[in-house]
Structures are given as C-alpha cells and as structure tokens.
Structure 1
C-alpha cells in the first residue's frame, strides 16, 4: 500500500510534547470559539492557517474537528454506494480521470442495463446504505441517458427503499427540472479544485459551467453534493480557496477525494498525498464546513490506509462511500461498517436523510 504505514502514522500522531507554537495555538483557539462554540465557519485566510499547522499540532487539530462534527452534525454517519451507468468514453479532458476518451487509460465505454442497476441498488441498501448514486461519464446527459435515468429511477424506487442520487455532468435547466420531477434526491457535480487551479486540471469546459449547474440544482430543490480531489498539484493556499468556495456554495454534502494516480492520464505519475497532509485537509474542511456532510470518497485507501481512515472518522468525516468506486477498488463495505461499529458511530437511518 502506498503512503504512510499504520505504525508510522500512529508514531507521528502520538509524537512527543512539542515546544509551543503560538501561531498554531492561536488559530486553534480561534477555531474553538468561532466554529465549535458559535458555529461560524473559518474564512479562507483562517483555513490556510489551519492547513499550515505543523505536524506536531495535528492530533489536537483532528480532535477539535471531531468535536465540531459531533456538535453541529451529530454522531451519525451516512453510508452511500455508487454505480456507473455509463463508463468511459467521456469527451472531457479531466487530467485525473481514466474515463476520458482523450487518454490512453484502459477504461473503455460501456453501459449498464436497468436490471443490473436495480440489482446494484438492492445490494447497496443491504449494506445499510441510505443513498445510491447513479453516475455517468459524460459532459452532460443526452436524451438516451435521461430516458435511462427515468426508467432506472422508477425501477429502483419500486424495488427498494433507498434515496437515489445522480451525477451526470453539466445540466440544462430542462434537465435539472426533469431530474427533480423523477424524484432524484441529491445531485453530485464536483467543482474538483479551486477556481484558480481549474485550468491546470480541465481545459474542455470551465469552472463557471460547473458552478452554474450547481446553482440550478439548488434552486430546483434537490440537495447539492459538490466536492473535489485533493493532491492534484494545488498549493495549500489553493486548497483553502477551494474550501472557501465550497462554503460559499453551501452544499449539503462534500465528497472529499484524494488523487489516486491512474495510468495513462496526465496525472498518472503523481505521488499520492502524504497521509498527514490528507488528515490536515480533512480537519480544515470540517472547520470550513461545520454543518455539511463531509464524505470519504476515492483515494483514501492508498492515501490513508486503515489507521488513517479511522483517524479521519475521528477528525471530521461523517459519511462514507462503501464498496468500490467508479474505476478503482475501495474497501469492502463490511470493513467500513465494522469500523463504524467499533467506533460507536451509528449509521444514519433512511428516515433521517429524507
């Protein structure tokens, strides 16, 4: 497994009593009063101060982020499964994505039929998940995909009691309205990274186009799910910018991915983010988004490992995607559910997500 080993991470987090760093003490004291006590998010400058905390303050930072999560979100963890209804062959050039048709990665275009989609939803619900997200690798949905969504959502709702979410790229107002009418509970469309870094990641569409889709989704009454990927070469300042931009959007959920370099993509040779940097980022995003569902998504397995995954759950995370991702393997659902049980973190009931 790439990244810090469990033993290394435990040693790093335990550490020895460090000399007092006044700047670190100050920002954590400010965050305790502003975020924990008053529920007011950190601003961009303050988020950057958190991201620049030294490693010997990490344990304290994670503990504070966990307190914030408990105070403003409660102890429950939302569990979600995802499935790709259309894989590969995407015309966009997102540099991290093996589903782009512009790169030499081994993922090839394929469609999932309705019975397979329903079966995946039923299997997801059997794990205790309350959310099932249908994902398609497209710039935006065409008539065929919208027809398949209508048929698929109807079939899922008839077969199993689970919330249906969707992630189909950029939308028109007509498509937003149609998805809302179908009963899609939540729409995912990631901004991916800070606006100032976006052109280093994608060149075939703009950050603003993504933002516009999200505003339409919000206005239509669907829940907004919007996050991104950390560790694509952005600076800490750009991570702080990204967190602040997400806070401005006020999403219901933020999936936090860590770059899992995919062969054949422009980012295929980049090193995964160090575990401590990933944990620091999780805590900073919690302090920037105190009331938001902050979800573990792709890349946590190679970035954090098992112990790091646990540390993140004790450092601000309050939702997980269980099972595999779109083109990469995740942890077995049973492993995550057993971990939640051991940490005495109850899985959020379906009724609590409606």
Structure 2
C-alpha cells in the first residue's frame, strides 16, 4: 500500500510503498477515510535529528477516521465496514490515568505513543493498524473524510474549553487567539457549551476572522494593540475569564497576558515554543496558566456527539495521498482555511 512517511529529519515527508499490516490479537485494521494534516506534524518534520526519543521512518497522520476492515483475534465490539474515528494518544491502558480514559496523560514512561506522531505508524496510508478497540469510537452517519480532525483539533479544543467552563457564566468573555483549524473549533465548542459567553476571535488574517464570525464569534479582531484595547473595553477593563492561545508565539503570549483576568485562566494550546513570562506583575493576579495536551477518551465521545447533533463541524479541504506533500506546504504557508485532510481511499 502507499503511505506518506517521515523518513528524514528536517526534510518533507515522502510517499513510499509499505506492506499492509496484519492485525494481531486485540488489534483492528482500519481502512482510512481521512487523516488530518496538523501543525504538530510540521513541528515534527522540522525538528533536528536527536530532538525526539523515537527513530525513523514512520507513517504520518494522527487525526484518523475510516471503516473497520479486519478484526484481529479476540477483538470484539465492531464489524467490518463500521465507520469509526480513532482516539490518538495511545497509552498503556493500565495506569490510573489510563483507567480513567486519560491516556493522553499516561504515566508509563515512553507513553503515550500516538500513531503518526510518536514513532508509530499513523493514518496517511490506505490502512491503519489500531492497537486496541478501546481507541475506536463509532461515527454513526458522520463521514470519516469530514470527521477525522475531530480526534485532535476537535478534542484538543474541547478539552481546553471544558476545563474552564466554571468560569464562563453569563456576562463572561472568552478570547480565542488564532482562528485557524483549532481556533475555529474552539469557537464552536464555546458557543455550544457556554452560549451566554462573549467569544472574541483574534488573528492576523482577515479571511480567517471572517470564517470565525461565520462559526459564531461575537467579535473578530485583527491582532495588535487595538485588539487589546477593544477586549479591555468589552470586559470593562477586567480582562477575559478565559484566554486560549492557539498559536503560542511571543506576540500572542504577550497579548494573552495583557487581556488575562484576575482569577481567570490563560490556556496555551499552540506549539509556537515561545515562553510566557510569569511574575507578580503578569499575567493578572491568580490567573491560572496551563498547557493541556490533547483530551480524554470520554471527551472524544462528547465531541462526536456534538458533531452528530450539528453543533460543531470542521472546515476541511481534501487532498489525495499523492498530494500530501502539497497539503503540508500549503499548511506551512498559512493557506489552509480550516484543516487539510488526506483521503487515501478516495
């Protein structure tokens, strides 16, 4: 089968021929409908040799959905042809966090090991080997080609919002910095879970802000000093209860600190690798700063339920497996409107 592989550090991915995997005991072979291309992949591809603990090569693609192809010995709960989405961060399944569905925070050294991100083969291939049925969630009538990004862009945004819901009472404000794929999903989640909260989207792109408005943002602001002033005006000088930085570079973190609120949450989701200065004078007093990672299996169930109810929907652009390298170049250049999804089986 064809697979889009990470074969050399600091080089673009390459299309290669690899064997179709055979599912062993408890494993499931999934025919891939869609595999999302994520900025996390770009950070990985651009990393120098030795920066990561795993070796090369492996197949990219950690946002995966498709149809059950073959069940390995002892695997139960699904039938061939069932549409499924794949939970991404694969843990040990045995530690306390894993037993609560928080495999994203597995306590076993070397875990989680996400397919397509941590040295294990992912879904940018015709077939994906999933290590256990607990990582599969039924999609119902959702199209795997459209739903694939829900497993990361959707789940990560949902988790980042959910942990702050107790702050989002009527009259509250949430600021979403970065209106790309993650930001667009965060806006929809905020409107679905905290409809009385004023949602402010901030970005450098007018086109992305237009999309953010169409997805429910109450205000759409071009990043800069004027945006900070407007947020202060909206919040009567207090700042926002929740600030989500989905970019993570120096200018966005500076803005996030400027618009933070006493006793609020400043949540860093973006992988820009900048550092947030924290001292007595900033962010706001007793504003909690956190950098969550992905989300839990129960939360992915919630995301799928929201999508099935029409409450959230990812804006996707489809690319064939042959065009995967081009999709990543467009992503690098900021020319993807929502999420690029590779469709290995058409």
Q: Could you say whether these structures have the same fold, taking a TM-score greater than 0.5 normalized by the shorter chain as the test?
A: no
Identify the structure with bigger relative contact order (alpha carbons < 8 Å, sequence gap 6+): 1
TM-score, scaled relative to structure 2: 0.32
Q: Which has the higher strand share?
A: 2
